[in-house]
Amino acid sequence: MKTRLFICMVSGLITFEQLVHGETVWDTGSAGGDSTSTHRQRIGVGYRMNYNVSTKFNNLGGFTARSNPGPATGSAVDRTYDDGFNRVDVSGNAGGQTWFWGYNSASQVVGDSIVMSSRSSNGNQGVEASDDPQHGIEVTYNLELGGSKRWRWGLEAGANYAALNITDNRSLSGNVTTISDAFALNGVTPPMAPYAGTFIGPGVMIGSTPTRTVTTTPGGATILGERQLDANLFGMRLGPYIELPLSRRFAISFSGGLALLEVSSDFQFRETVNIAGIGTSSRSGSSSEDAFMAGGYVSGNVSFQLTDKFSLFTGVQFYNLGTHTQEANGKSAELDLGTSIGVVLGGSYSF
């Protein structure tokens, strides 16, 4: 798949040239001129640089809670926390109390209650990166169809290739969500921390119905790692062109039309998320995809004629091909080709 489209594009250019070969004379008088000119065909080869191509890496971060505080209501519920637990004892938490509970630190005793917490972080961070310019090559074929001494027009076809490598290893941060449940002591003095009661008891009893508070700490999670998208871009364009001679050697031309692109890409990532006092969570993933994209382009060129057959040219192309999104283990890489720019430097041969 990585080379199939490029081979087809080059073959298409050759076939296109063969279909029109042999038709060598057009009368351009009706097109505004007063003379008959020989059809001119032109093959160009150029070095190509792509700009304004970026990738947004999405759904970064994420720290799944290591405990389960359960629902915000209910007394006979097994609840676990990062710093304790409040579970159903042998009595089924009769009277809304349990002796099957535990906690880790004296700081959790707040007034006449014990507060237990569960922390997590959503994987919703994103970062955009680019690798301008991307380097490649382009081959073009122009068939002149008419015009006059002051202007010429025809069809233009092009095939191009570029390699893309976008890597980002910036440190990021994510929000931390903390669920804090307070359980009533009902006037009793809790055992010294750390403490863990048992299912069958007996033991000190506390309330089993929580009073819940949910808070968000911006930037409470640290995200470290690397995200990378490698891609081979095989493109083709086809459309009409118009060329305006400025002098004996200089000319400008403009074209526009259909643009096609095959993207053969590899996306991979690795990351470690840390929440202070809780721990770290690591994950990685990779995927490979082939995608086909279609859009449009406009182009402008300036050429300098060295001899009757050889010319040098430079040009700028503007493409709108949309976006390509690729996923791996819950993360995604969104390649943006909506406003990409191609700069070409090369030479051409007319025949």
User: Contact at 8 Å (CB) between 304 and 250?
Assistant: yes
Q: What is the pLDDT of residues 124-140, one digit of tens each?
A: 999 999 988 999 999 99
User: Contact at 8 Å (CB) between 30 and 41?
Assistant: no
At residue 316's C-alpha, the angle toward residues 314 and 318, to 5°, is: 160
Domain of 277 in residue numbering reads as 4-63+127-173+221-350
**Is it the case that residue 344 has pLDDT exceeding 80?**
yes
Q: Indicate the number of domains in the chain.
A: 2
pLDDT value of residue 34? 35
Measure the CA dihedral 203/204/210/216, to 10°. -100
pTM, rounded to two decimals? 0.80
Q: Is the domain of 201 the same as that of 299?
A: no
CATH of the domain at 294: 2.40.160.20
pLDDT value of residue 115? 98
Measure the CA dihedral 319/323/324/329, to 10°. 150
Asked if residue 71 belongs to a domain, the reply is no
Q: Is the domain of 181 the same as that of 282?
A: no
Q: Is the domain of 178 the same as that of 305?
A: no
User: Contact at 8 Å (CB) between 129 and 167?
Assistant: yes
Task: Give the 3-state secondary structure of residue 344.
Answer: strand
**Is it the case that residue 37 has pLDDT exceeding 80?**
no
Q: Is the domain of 98 the same as that of 162?
A: no
Q: What is the pLDDT of residues 207-244, one digit of tens each?
A: 999 999 999 999 999 999 999 999 999 999 999 999 99
Q: What is the pLDDT of residues 241-282, one digit of tens each?
A: 999 999 999 999 999 999 999 999 999 999 999 999 999 999
Q: Is the domain of 274 the same as that of 331?
A: yes
**Is it the case that residue 12 has pLDDT exceeding 90?**
no
Asked if residue 69 belongs to a domain, the reply is no
pLDDT value of residue 14? 44
**Is it the case that residue 108 has pLDDT exceeding 80?**
yes
**Is it the case that residue 21 has pLDDT exceeding 80?**
no
Q: Is the domain of 205 the same as that of 89?
A: yes
